[in-house]
């Protein structure tokens, strides 16, 4: 899949025309490594069907359909190889495994960014595998927001949720342990953050009750 063609705006103080800068290269990253400990059903949460599609597939296909660059899927507690193969997307994503998924979401984010780093991208747009109502349009809108912003966060009715775009420049500042992912950096460095209103429904499916409300 080609890298994104989002361009940085050329700026010159003397008002002249500057040559365009190279496109901002972006990868989408779906974090789908958790064990879903709050979900009491007989099937692993990420594999539960919703309207004929496994839960995790909703997020993976939305990230792919945004068409902003390659898609990385981070698995861990649940082997996603079979379900992605059945949907015909396994050969179109970079499926990587976080062996330390039980140590928190920050470890999965680090694995996803490591895969994206190897691709040479300038930024990642990160979402979760248990949010089926986040649309391709939301992924795309976050990816295409102000290219100079270090962090771009999707909002829904004024609430900050996923996906989130993280520029390469701030990757070293992200936590590598614990369950907060990028939240602590977003909370602690508000000057880095740009919000973008997005379509969709950002709620997680964490419990059987959540699943019943969605259905």
Helix (H, G, I), strand (E, B) or coil at 60: helix
Contact 137, 154 (CB under 8 A): no
Q: How far apart are CA 19 and CA 9, in angstroms?
A: 10
| Per-residue pLDDT, 15 | 54
Q: Calculate mean pLDDT across residues 27-53.
A: 92
Pick from 40-44, 146-150, 203-207: least confident: 40-44
Could you give the percent of the chain with pLDDT greater than 70?
A: 89
Q: What is the DSSP letter of 200?
A: B
Q: Which domains does the chain have, with CATH numbers?
A: 24-214 (3.90.550.10)
Length of the chain: 215
Q: How far apart are CA 141 and CA 158, in angstroms?
A: 15
What DSSP letter does each residue of 84-144 carry, written as one string? HHHTT-GGGSEEEE-TTGGG-HHHHHHHHHHHHHHHT-SEEEEEETT-TTB-HHHHHHHHT
| Per-residue pLDDT, 17 | 52
Could you tell me the pTM of the whole model? 0.89
Render pLDDT for 114-135 as a digit per residue (tens, 0 to 9).
Answer: 999 999 999 999 999 999 999 9
Which tops the pLDDT comparison, 10 or 174? 174
Q: How far apart are CA 215 and CA 55, in angstroms?
A: 12
Q: How far apart are CA 7 and CA 59, in angstroms?
A: 25
| Per-residue pLDDT, 2 | 41
- DSSP bridge pairs for 167: 123
Q: How far apart are CA 44 and CA 113, in angstroms?
A: 25
| Per-residue pLDDT, 131 | 96
Mean pLDDT computed over every residue of the chain: 90
pLDDT at 38 over 90: no
Which tops the pLDDT comparison, 24 or 69? 69
């Amino acid at each position: 899949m080609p890298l994104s063609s989002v361009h940085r705006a050329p700026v010159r103080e003397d008002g002249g025309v500057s040559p365009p800068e190279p496109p901002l290269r972006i990868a989408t990253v779906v974090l789908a490594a958790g064990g879903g400990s709050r979900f009491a059903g007989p099937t692993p949460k990420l594999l539960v069907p919703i309207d004929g599609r496994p839960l995790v597939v909703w997020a993976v296909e939305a990230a792919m359909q945004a068409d902003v660059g390659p898609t990385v899927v981070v698995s861990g507690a649940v082997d996603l190889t079979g379900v992605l193969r059945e949907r015909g997307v396994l050969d179109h994503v970079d499926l990587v495994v976080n062996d330390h998924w039980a140590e928190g979401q920050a470890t999965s984010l680090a694995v996803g960014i490591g895969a994206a780093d190897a691709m040479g991208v300038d930024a990642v747009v990160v979402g979760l595998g248990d949010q089926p109502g986040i649309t391709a349009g939301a992924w795309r809108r976050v990816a295409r927001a102000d290219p100079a912003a270090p962090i771009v966060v999707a909002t829904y009715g004024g609430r900050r949720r996923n996906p989130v775009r993280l520029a390469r420049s701030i990757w070293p500042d992200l936590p590598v342990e614990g369950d907060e992912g990028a939240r602590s950096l977003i909370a602690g460095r508000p000057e880095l953050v740009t919000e973008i209103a997005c379509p969709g429904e950002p709620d997680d499916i964490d419990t059987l009750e959540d699943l019943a409300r969605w259905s």
